[in-house]
Structures are given as structure tokens and as C-alpha cells.
Amino acid sequence: MKKIIFFIILFLFSFTEIIYSIDTVSTKYYPLNVGNSWTCTYFHNIPPMIYQFKKTITGTVIQNGHKYYLINTTLFRIDSTNGRLLNYVVNSGCNWSINEKLIDSLSARKGDSCIYNCSTLKSICTDTSNVNIFGLNRPSKVFTVTGFEIFFQTRYVKGIGMTYYIDWSGSGTQYTTYTLNGCVIDGIVYGDTTITGIKSNSTEISADFRLSQNYPNPFNPSTTIEFDIPNRSFVTLSLYDITGREVETLVNELVPPGRYRVLWNAENYSSGVYFYKLTTADFSVTKRMVLVK
């Protein structure tokens, strides 16, 4: 009898060790620590738009008993029991998870799937091969979401985080990509973390500052914001909710003269009225837009 009890205890201890190991590995695919940052290139093909931006973990917040990491203006956490990457969204609409949406399951093996973003779609782990990045050979996981006129794909690399994302949805001709240029993880710099500035493929230069109405409007979930800059200026394009709270900054840098188009993906935001504000040293204007889900 004592031997049986001993083996049960030994089994439970070993099982706990295995679970702990899996959870530890899963969290490394999106290293959440204050100070970590990722410098990325945003590209949209039609209308043409390319610029660089940085995501930085600036702090932590406790919500509903969970610890979230603040990346720019969005809260993320990894569930330590199953390796799922979640973000905090008020009134998310998820029956199984109040005020949260599931992004990907970082503990997934190839072929595993999970419900994507509280929808009817599934996020499937389609690749777990090693990749070479910043001169290192690292394990990676690719998650693919497909549906009617929908194609999303995301790659996470162990010890680095998200390195690539593509959204090829809608008409089939337009697509958006986010590509990692460099990052700072636990104080170690990988790749190129400098930002060279926003770019436009348009040769049109307006004589005046101008902020156009977003299109489409109303929209779900993405909309394009177009603006003209007649001379080299430091430009800020910020988004606000109906209460006046800033929810996101799309552009915040020095740009040359030109016509610019920025795509805003509001997938993680609730339906409602939002405002976008363009600010330079000589110009400031705010316009209204409506997100309908």
C-alpha cells in the first residue's frame, strides 16, 4: 500500500513538473516583461502605405484578478494554465471569458486549433519549424485563420515574440503586413530597433494640410485615414473614444511632405463613435468615425 501511495505521489509530482515546463516554454513565444519592445514595419499595398512603429511594454495592470502587460494602449496576458495569449477587451462578447479575447494558444502543437477572437473562426497551428532570425536559429509557431474572404497568419518565435503578421482579407487584392525589424528582450537588443520614419508611395504633394474623412465609414473592422502634409513636419495622428480617452496613436514622428494613408484595424475595440485627430505645429483637426460590429 505504501508503495502504491509513493508511486501516486511520484506520478503527480512528475506531472506537475511537466505542466510547469510546458507553461514556461509557452510564455517564451511572447516574452511579457516590462521594458521589452518590438520595432516593426507596417505595409499596406492598396492604397500604398509603409511606416515603422514601436510596441513597448510600459507597465502592468490588474484586472479581474489577472495581471496584464500594457503594450502601448492594449493589455495582454498569457494564461499560465494553458499558454493562451489573451487581450483585455471590455464587453468582449465571449461567454467563456468575460472582458477577454483569445488571440492564439502558444502551447499548441502542429494541427491544434482554438476559437479565434470569440468568433466562429478557428486559429490553427500550421507550422512549428525552426527559423533563422537575427542570426539565431529558433523554434517558431505559425497560426493561420481562414474563412470567407478572410486570411490571417501570425508567426511567433521563441524568445523573441511576434515576428510576422499578414491580413489578406476582403477583396483578395489588398493586404496588410507587420514585419519585425528588431526588438529589446530582457535588456538584450536583437536586430535593428531604429525607426526611420513614415513613408508614402504617393508623389502627390498638397499645398495645404488636410485630413480627409476616413473610408469606409461606418466600418468593420478596418478603415483608412488619409492626410496631406505640405512640408516637413512632426505629425501625430491619435484616436479617441467617445469619452475623450486616447485609445491609440497611429503616427507620432517627423515626416516629409506627401500624401499618407494609414489603415486602422479596430478588431479589438467595441462598437461606437471614435475620433481621430491630426496634429502638427501649424495645424490641428479632429474628425468623427463610427465602428459598427
Q: Write down the pLDDT at residue 59.
A: 94
pLDDT for position 23: 55
Look over the chain and give the mean of its residue pLDDT values, rounded to a whole number: 84
At 205 the pLDDT is 62
User: Between the CA of residue 13 and those of 5, 7, 24, 88, 285, what are the distances in Å?
Assistant: 12, 10, 17, 33, 62
- Ranked by mean pLDDT, the top range of 21-35, 41-55, 92-106, 223-237 is 223-237
Q: Does domain 35-191 have CATH number 2.50.20?
A: yes
For residues 211 and 7, what is the distance between their CA atoms, to the nearest angstrom? 71
- Of the chain, the percentage scoring pLDDT greater than 90 comes to 47
For residue 74, is pLDDT > 90? no
- The pLDDT value given to residue 203: 53
Residues 6+ apart with CB under 8 A from 241: 247, 272, 273, 274, 275
Q: How many CB atoms lie within 10 A of CB 82?
A: 15
Q: Which CATH architecture has domain 210-291?
A: Sandwich (2.60)
Instruction: Note the pTM of the prediction, 2 decimals.
Output: 0.65
Burial of residue 247, with CB atoms counted within 10 A of its CB: 0-12 exposed, 13-18 middle, 19 or more buried: middle
The mean per-residue pLDDT over the stretch 14-18 comes to 37
pLDDT per residue over 150-184, tens digit each?
A: 899 999 999 999 999 999 876 667 888 999 999 99
Asked which of 4-18, 41-55, 93-107 is least confident by mean pLDDT, the reply is 4-18
- Phi first, then psi: what are they for 28, rounded to 5°? -75, -15
State mean pLDDT over 4-29: 50
- Indicate the domain borders of the chain: 35-191, 210-291
